[in-house]
Copies of this chain bind each other. A is one copy, B any other.
Amino acid sequence: MNDKQALDAFSALSQETRLRIVRLLVQAGPDGMAAGAIGEAMDGASSSRMSFHLSHLEHAGLVQSRREGRSIIYSASYTALSGLIQFLMRDCCQGHPEVCTPAVAALTCICEPAMDSAHV
């Protein structure tokens, strides 16, 4: 993830509705959710409003879409989210482990089941 991509990702996540969408889609998993279903989860937001935010997120690379019948299914891009976390760690913590150390420590409580496969 380069600077431009990080800026786009930060911009995308700086809007309440979009942050909620990303969260929802991460929890939804790889199967994703249809645009309409996402809109309902956003307090019944209008379809055009959803399209606006979803295309913003997709442009930023944080979500991806596929068509299934009449529906467009959106799903979170784990690669992009992971890349953004790495960007923050790499570009903002370089030489200053006091920034990322607490984050990693906290992580052991959150993703514990996965720590082994991360070789940490």
Partner-B contacts on A (CB < 8 A): 3, 6-7, 10-11, 13-16, 19, 22-23, 26-27, 29, 76, 78, 81-82, 84-86, 88-108, 110-111, 113-115, 117-120
Q: Which residues of B contact A3 (CB under 8 A)?
A: 16, 19
Question: Which of B92, B108, B113, B119 is the one whose CB lies under 8 Å from A26?
Answer: B92
Number of copies: 2
Contact, CB under 8 Å: A96 / B11: no
Which residues of the other chain, B, contact A84 by a CB distance below 8 angstroms?
A: 88
- A27's nearest neighbour on chain B, judged by CB, is B95
A110 to B97, CA, bound (A): 9
Beta-carbon contact of B118 and A104 below 8 Å: yes
Q: How far is the CB of A1 from chain B (nearest CB, A)?
A: 11
Q: Are B13 and A10 in contact (CB under 8 A)?
A: yes
Give the shortest distance, in Å, between A76 (CB) and chain B (any CB): 8
A81 contacts B108, CB within 8 Å?
A: no
- CB contact under 8 A between A103 and B85, given known A22-B92, A93-B110: yes
Bound: A23/B90 CA distance, A:
10
| Residues of B contacting A98 in the complex (Cβ-Cβ under 8 angstroms) | 78, 82, 114
Distance (Å) between the CB of A53 and the closest chain B CB?
A: 14
